[in-house]
Amino acid sequence: MVTRTPALQMETRLNAGKRAGFFRVIVAFFVALMRKFLGGETMFVNEFGGPAGGEVVLAPSLAGHIMTKQLAPGQVLFVQRGSWLASTGDIDAKLRFGGLRTLFGGEGLVLLECKGVGDLFVNSYGGITEVPVDGKFIVDTGHIVAFDGSLDFKVRSIGGVKSFLFSGEGLVCEFSGRGTVYVQSRNLDALVSWLTPLLPG
């Protein structure tokens, strides 16, 4: 949050999914606490609202763009966890991990499966380029902002000498089918690799 008018209230709650049962909420709570202490992104969200209305100004932490997507009934958009900024209306965002390791280390691709009706605000590190896919397309996982639910995707590591190709863990996502992939032009892992030799001890 950057600024807000005083009458607006802020409530912090767990983002376990709109129709989460009791068990799911408990699991979500423990996952969130673990991730918070291990330095990962949390599943807590802040809800701004109030009887008198008001204005809140939000900004992400990295430099880049904010894209607004209006979700219609039946439409699914997968958003990379760090790219979700805010939503209005009745949008359900379910956390999807790319395997058990991602629970702790933030490795792999952590996605929010977004469904429902409302406005979805997505941020990027860098600019956002829309790439229409019809066939096969490969994207470095650190550069994925979001993609249509109509696409099939497979995360794999490049491995071998070729792992030097890509910054970070050398993970890429192979998309197939028809749909749009939203690609960001900068990548936090690449920034880390670039800065590391310049850091004092």
Partner 1 sequence: MRFDIIDAPNFALLRIGFDAAGEKIVAESGAMVAMGSEIDVQTSMRGGLLAAAKRKVLGGESIFQNTFTAKQAGQQLFLAPPAEGDMRQKVLAPNEPFFLQSGAYVAHIGDGLVIDTKWGGVKGFFSGVGLFLLKITGPGTIFYASYGALHEVNVGAEGYTADTGHIVGFSHGLEYNVRSFGGMKGLFFSGEGLVADFRGQGTLYLQTRNPSSLASFLHPFRPVKARNS
Partner 2 sequence: MRFNTHYRPAHSLTVVELGPNETVRAEASAMISMTRNIRVATTGPLNRSTGGFFGGLKRAFLGGETFFTNTFTAENGPGHVTLAPALTGDMLVHELAQNHQLFIQGGSYVAAPDSVQLDTKWQGMKGFFSGESLFFLNATGYGPVLMNAFGAVQTIDLDGELIVDTGHLVAFTSGLQYTVSKASAGWIKSFLSGEGFVLKFTGRGRLYVQTRNPAEYGRSVGRALPPREA
CA gap 37, 185 in Å, rounded: 30
174 in contact with partner 1 (CB under 8 A): yes
CA gap 175, 24 in Å, rounded: 30
85 in contact with partner 2 (CB under 8 A): no
Contact present, 94 and 84 (Cβ < 8 Å): no
Contact present, 154 and 173 (Cβ < 8 Å): yes
CA gap 20, 3 in Å, rounded: 31
Integer-rounded Cα radius of gyration of the chain: 18
6 binds, among partner 2, partner 1, none (CB under 5 to 8 A by kind): partner 2
Shortest distance, position 189 Cβ to partner 2, whole Å: 8
Contact present, 85 and 122 (Cβ < 8 Å): yes
Shortest distance, position 192 Cβ to partner 2, whole Å: 5
CA gap 44, 55 in Å, rounded: 21
Contacting residue, 39, 51, 53, 74, with partner 1 by CB under 8 A? 39
196 in contact with partner 2 (CB under 8 A): yes
155 in contact with partner 1 (CB under 8 A): no
188 in contact with partner 2 (CB under 8 A): yes
CA gap 121, 67 in Å, rounded: 6
Contacting residue, 18, 24, 36, 156, with partner 2 by CB under 8 A? 36
139 in contact with partner 1 (CB under 8 A): yes
Contacting residue, 75, 157, 180, 185, with partner 1 by CB under 8 A? 185
Footprint on this chain of partner 1 (rule: CB under 8 A) = 39, 63-64, 126-127, 129, 131, 135-140, 143, 161-162, 164-167, 174, 181, 183, 185-187, 190-191, 193-195, 197-200
